[in-house]
Amino acid sequence: MPARDPYIDPAVERLWTGATVITFVRTISSFTLCLVGAWQHELTLLVIGLVVYWAGDSLDGLYARLRNCETRIGGVVDMLCDRLNCAAFYLGFAYLEPSMLLPVAVYLFEFMVIDFFLSLAFLYWPIRSPNYFYLVDRRLYRWNWSIPAKTVNSSLFAVLLLVTGWWWLGLVVALALLTLKCVCLRWLLQMGLPVPARPAAEPASAVGVQPTEARR
């Protein structure tokens, strides 16, 4: 298989690829399981929905890399669907276990606001996805999109809540993740986000507008 090009190629950008089909299937499946689980007060269904989300999230990324169909559109769709699946599980979980409301609230703020902004930052550079952010900044990549970082951010919190049932431990982990993401946000803003150059203004006559003097 040829080496993947980490940089964007406008010619291949499209919504529908095999990877995005997997993304939509896992999103709808996980979302449905979590909704039914909350409605039926069945924690097992919520957990199954979470596993479907995790497995599908790994599968769509693997498919995109193996079939060389990584696109920026697909990356953004994947991030949006991650947040939907995440919110469905954690809100359902907090509904069934009200004692978990505070740690869940902190985690959702971290993941759906701060982490989402960080994840979208790759769009400021000509790379296909955050998986290639090491080309921009290795420190930010290491703490946010390396395999260990993504595993901790997406899995550790849920596993701790489900296994221990200790709300205070979940709160400690959620606050630690929030602190880390805020530090990363500070690094990102200190580095600066490049803004595309403003296009040169065209002469008024080029866009069908007559100069003021010509109209008098």
Length reported for the chain:
216
Question: How many domains would you assign to the chain?
Answer: 1
pTM: 0.88
Distance CA 129, CA 5 (A): 11
Please report the pLDDT score of residue 81 as a whole number: 97
pLDDT band at 206; cut points 50, 70, 90: low
CATH number of the domain that residue 25 is part of: 1.20.120.1760
Q: Are 89 and 53 in contact (CB under 8 A)?
A: yes
The answer to whether position 206 is within a domain reads no
Residue 153 in any domain: the answer is yes
Note down the domain range covering 121. Answer: 10-191
Q: Does 200 map to a domain?
A: no
Q: pLDDT tens for residues 34-77?
A: 999 999 999 999 999 999 999 999 999 999 989 888 999 999 99
Would you state the structure tokens that stand for residue 75, as one six-digit string? Answer: 């990356």
Type of residue numbered 137: D
